Amino acid sequence: MTTREPEWTEQDRAEVLALALYRRELCPCGCGHRYADTTSPEATGPRFAAERVVCRARLALMEAQQAAETSDPAIAGSRLWLVRMVGR
């Protein structure tokens, strides 16, 4: 009889459960804030301010995809893109 280590430790299970509980509290719109905060009354809840930043990795990806445009949907649909950090 072979005894194997369990694939999931108690710690793993506890961390996955904690992550699930955390994610369940988040607003479903994708803003990254807690649902209780984003849907709280305006008079008593926290205030929010939006600002814009550019993800330069995403920008590099978009520029590379634009430069590599093709009219062949098979080629376009089968490309796998990745963005590497190539220096500071």
Interface residue list for Zn ion (CB under 5 A): 27, 29, 31, 38
Our CB check for Zn ion shows the closer of 28 and 77 to be 28
Our CB check for Zn ion shows the closer of 49 and 80 to be 49
Separation of alpha carbons 69 and 15, rounded Å: 43
Minimum CB separation from Zn ion for residue 79, in Å?
Answer: 32
12 in helix, strand or coil?
A: helix
Minimum CB separation from Zn ion for residue 38, in Å?
Answer: 4
Minimum CB separation from Zn ion for residue 45, in Å?
Answer: 13
Our CB check for Zn ion shows the closer of 28 and 73 to be 28
Taking alpha carbons only, the member of 42, 22, 46, 45 closest to residue 32 is 22
> How big is the CA angle at 13 (ends 18 and 31), to the nearest 5 degrees?
30
